[in-house]
Amino acid sequence: MIRHRRDRKGMALLTVLLMVTVMAAIAVALLDDVRFSTRRAGNLASVGQAQWYALGAEALARKRIERLIRQAGPVTPTEPDWNGRPFAFPIEAGQIQAVVSDGQACFNLNSVVSGIDGAWVARPRGAEQLVALGRALGVDEGRMRAVAEALTDWIDSDQTPLPRGAETAAYAGRETPLRTPGALLLEAGELRLIRGVDAGVYGRLRPFVCALPTSDLSPINPNTLSVDDAPLLVMLSEGRLNPARARAAIAARPRGGWRDICTFWSQPAMAQATPASDVYDQLTLTTRYFAFRSDVDFAGARVTRTALFRTLPDGRVETVVHRWTAER
C-alpha cells in the first residue's frame, strides 16, 4: 500500500515536471515570437521613416530644379555641376544619397510611333533611329530592324503586324501569353517583353534608351552629353556620323556649354551628319525631363526611390513617374 502511494507520488511529480518543461518551452517560443514581432515592427518603422526621407529628398530636388530653370532662361545651364553628380546628406542613424541627371539624354522608345487622329501609328524616322543606335552599339542591323518593328507593333493601335513585327498573336505561345497594349511604354524595362530582345540586346541598349511620356522624337541636349553618349549622336545622323567624330563633337563643347544649336551643328566634327529638318530640331539646349534617384540608409533599413520629373511652361516641376525600386 505504501509502495503504491509512492508510485503515485512519483507519477504526479513526473507529470508536474513534464508540465513545467512544456510551459517553459511555450514561454520561450512566445518570447521569441514577441522578440521577432518587436524586431519586425522596428524594421517596418525604420523603412517607413526611410521612405519619408526619400520623399523629402525628391521634393528638395524638384525645388532645386525649379530654381535652376528660373535662373536659366531657354538654355539649361551646366553650372553648377548638377548632371549626374551624387549628393550625400547625413541624417541621424544614416545617410541620404541623391542624384539628378538629364532624363532625356537617351533614345525615346515611344518615338517609334506618332499620334494621328487619336491613334498610335508607325513613325519610320523613330524606327530608323533605333536601328542606327543598335548598329552603333554592335547589334546586327537585321536583328535591330526586327526589334524596331516589333516595338512599333507593341505600341501602335492596330493588330496588323509589320513585315518583321509582332502583334498579339506572336506572343500567344509564350508561357505567359501577352497582348500588345497599343499604348506608350511606361518604363524602358518593358523593352524586355518585345520579341527579339534577349538579354544581350537589352544589355547593350538599356544605358541609351528611355520611355518618355510622349511620342516626340528624342530631344537631345548636347550640353549634357558625355563622350560615352556618342552613340546618341550616331543615332541622330542615322549612321552617317561615325563614333569617333561623335565623341570629338561632344568633347569640343566650350566651357559653359553651347549657346545655340547652329554653332553645334556647324562644327567640323559634325560635317558628316547632314540632318533632315525634323532631326535638326531634335537637338535642344533646354532640358525638360530630369531623372532622379535617392538611396536612403536609416537604422539598418535601405530604400531606393526613382522618379522622372518634367518642367512645365509656368516653371513648376512635376513628377511624371515614380517607383520604390531602381528601374532596370
Say whether 107 sits in a helix, a strand or coil: strand
Contact of 240 with 305, CB cutoff 8 Å: no
The CB-side HSE value for 21 (13 A sphere, CA atoms) comes to 6
Q: What distance in Å separates the CA atoms of residue 235 and residue 35, rounded to the nearest whole number?
A: 58
Exposure string over 155-188, b if 16+ CB within 10 A, otherwise e:
bbeeeebbebbbbbebbeeeeeeeebebebbeeb
Identity (one letter) of the amino acid at 14? L
How many percent of the chain have pLDDT more than 90? 67
Judge whether residue 198 has pLDDT over 90: yes
pLDDT in tens, 94-143: 999 999 999 999 999 999 999 999 999 999 999 999 999 999 999 999 99
CB 136 within 8 A of CB 118: no
Model confidence at 30: pLDDT above 60: no
pLDDT digits (tens, 9 = 90+) for 233-290: 999 988 889 999 999 999 999 988 999 999 999 898 888 787 777 888 899 999 999 9
pTM of the model as a whole? 0.85
Confidence band for 2, pLDDT divided at 50, 70 and 90: low
Q: What is the Cα 316 distance to its own chain's centre? A: 22
CA–CA dist 284, 300 (Å, integer): 43
The per-residue pLDDT for 41 is: 47
Contact partners, residue 121, CB within 8 Å, separation at least 6: 113, 114, 115, 156, 157
CB 211 within 8 A of CB 154: no
The pLDDT of residue 46 is above 50? yes
Alpha carbon distance 12, 136 (integer Å): 86
Residue 33: partners with Cβ closer than 8 Å, 6 or more residues away: none
End-to-end Cα separation, the chain, in angstroms = 82
| 106 CB-near residues (< 8 Å, 6+ apart) | 208, 209, 210, 218, 232
Full set of structural domains in the chain with CATH: 2-103+288-323 (3.30.1300.30)
Helix (H) / strand (E) element for 302: namely: strand 301-311
- Write out pLDDT tens, residues 72-105: 778 898 887 889 999 898 988 899 999 999 999 9
Instruction: Please check the confidence at residue 4 and state whether its pLDDT lies above 80.
Output: no
